[in-house]
Amino acid sequence: MSVEPAAASRRRAPTRGDVILLLLLAAAIPWMRSFLLSAGAPQELVVLSAAAPARALTLSESRDVEIAGPLGTTRLRIRDGSAWIVESPCERGLCQTMGRLRPGRSLVCIPNRVVVRASAAAGDVDAVTR
C-alpha cells in the first residue's frame, strides 16, 4: 500500500461550484461594505475653528462649506453623506489627503486650526461604562 508522492501533492483545478462560490462572494462584498458603513454613518458634523464660532452641519445636503481660520479659508465638501477637505491654505496640505470622514474620526488642519468632527445622531450611544 504505497502512495505515490506525485499523486498526493497534485492540485486539482477549481470546479464549477468553486467558481460560482467565488463569484457570489465577490458580488456580496460591495453590498456588505455599504451596509456596514451606512449603519454607523454620522448624521451631522461639528465644525470647530479658532477664527469662527462652532457650528453644526448636516450630511444630508450636498454643498461646499468655507471655514475661516487664522491662515485663510479651508473648504469642506459634503457629498453623498460624507465630507472631506478639498482646499486649505496650510503649507503641506495633509488635511486634504485625509480622505473622507469616517465614523469615530475627525478631519483636522492643525496649521489653520480647523477641526471637523462626526457627531452621532440624537439617541445614539457612543459608549457605556460602569
Residue 106 lies in a domain: yes
State the CATH number of the domain containing residue 56.
Answer: 2.60.320.10
pLDDT tens digit sequence for 41-91: 557 889 999 888 899 988 888 899 999 999 999 999 999 888 999 999 999
Residue 111 lies in a domain: yes
User: How confident is the prediction for the chain on average, in pLDDT?
Assistant: 82
The residue among 29 and 7 whose pLDDT is bigger is 29
- pLDDT for res 102: 78
Q: State if pTM tops 0.85.
A: no
74 contacts 95 by C-beta, under 8 angstroms: yes
Number of domains composing the chain? 2
String of DSSP letters for 25-72: HHHHHHHHHHHHHHHT--SEEEEEETTEEEEEEESSS-EEEEEE-SSS
Q: What is the rounded CA–CA span in Å between residue 6 and residue 130?
A: 61
Q: What is the rounded CA–CA span in Å between residue 39 and residue 19?
A: 31
50 contacts 70 by C-beta, under 8 angstroms: yes
Same domain, residue pair 35 and 60: no
Range of the domain at 34: 5-39
Residue 103 lies in a domain: yes
SS3 at position 94: helix
